[in-house]
Amino acid sequence: MRIMLTLNCNAATLKALGGIILLMIIEVQGEQATQALGQKIGRLLRGGETLELTGDVGAGKTTFVKGLALGLDIDEDVQSPSFTISRVYDARDNLQLAHYDFYRLHDAGIMADELSETTQDPTIVTVIEWADIVEGVLPKNRISITFASPTETSRRLVVTGPIEIVEKL
């Protein structure tokens, strides 16, 4: 099931949001489908994008990032940075994937400064799990993906972001 909605608003709101925002709901069945969706999105990325991933533990966020890494032609085994907070991988076209997981972080502190720099670098694709602690430094034109688990094997992803990325999914 795919549902697409476009947010229509006045010029001032549109400017504040950083462009036209599209909302899409995607349902996938199993880890392979979650990873395949991540790979599809990874192929669309050109650097400078920020993806915010939210969802319960075990909802498929890291599985999605593994697929994203495949779409960015990353050969390394992508692992959750839950204990290290961040991991950086070399990707195609001289890009990098910066993967953050703030699940264990109680105060943004210095990570907010690092993240602010990372999200402004046009050669880095930034992915943040559990981003609520750094909400204030995330760019307005980020891609937000919320993961829900309606059943043990299915995932519902609510994707919002710039129309030029989301409409291609």
- Alpha carbons 140 and 96: distance in angstroms, whole number: 21
Q: Which of 60, 52, 63 is nearest to 134 (CA)?
A: 52
Q: Where is average pLDDT lowest: 11-20, 119-128, 146-155?
A: 11-20
3-state class of 157 per DSSP?
strand
Amino acid letter at 149?
S
Per-residue pLDDT at 72: 98
Tokens of 24: 């899409």
| Max CA separation in the chain (angstroms) | 44
pLDDT band at 14 (very low <50, low <70, confident <90, very high): very low
Q: What is the mean pLDDT of the chain?
A: 82
Q: What is the pLDDT of residues 39-74, one digit of tens each?
A: 999 999 999 999 999 988 888 899 999 999 999 999
Tokens 């502190």, located at residue: 109
Q: How far apart are CA 154 and CA 135, in angstroms?
A: 28
∠ CA(76), CA(92), CA(34), 5° rounding?
60
Domain coverage including residue 36: 2-166
Residue holding tokens 């105060």? 107
Q: What CATH number corresponds to the domain at position 76? A: 3.40.50.300
CB of 67 closer than 8 Å to CB of 97: no
Average pLDDT over residues 97-117: 80
Report the number of distinct structural domains present in the chain: 1
Residue (of 67, 99, 57, 89) closest to 169 by Cα position: 67
Q: What is the DSSP letter of 75?
A: -
- Rg of the chain taking only CA atoms, in angstroms: 15
Residue 124 has pLDDT above 70, yes or no: yes
User: What's phi and psi for 108, nearest 5 deg?
Assistant: -60, -40
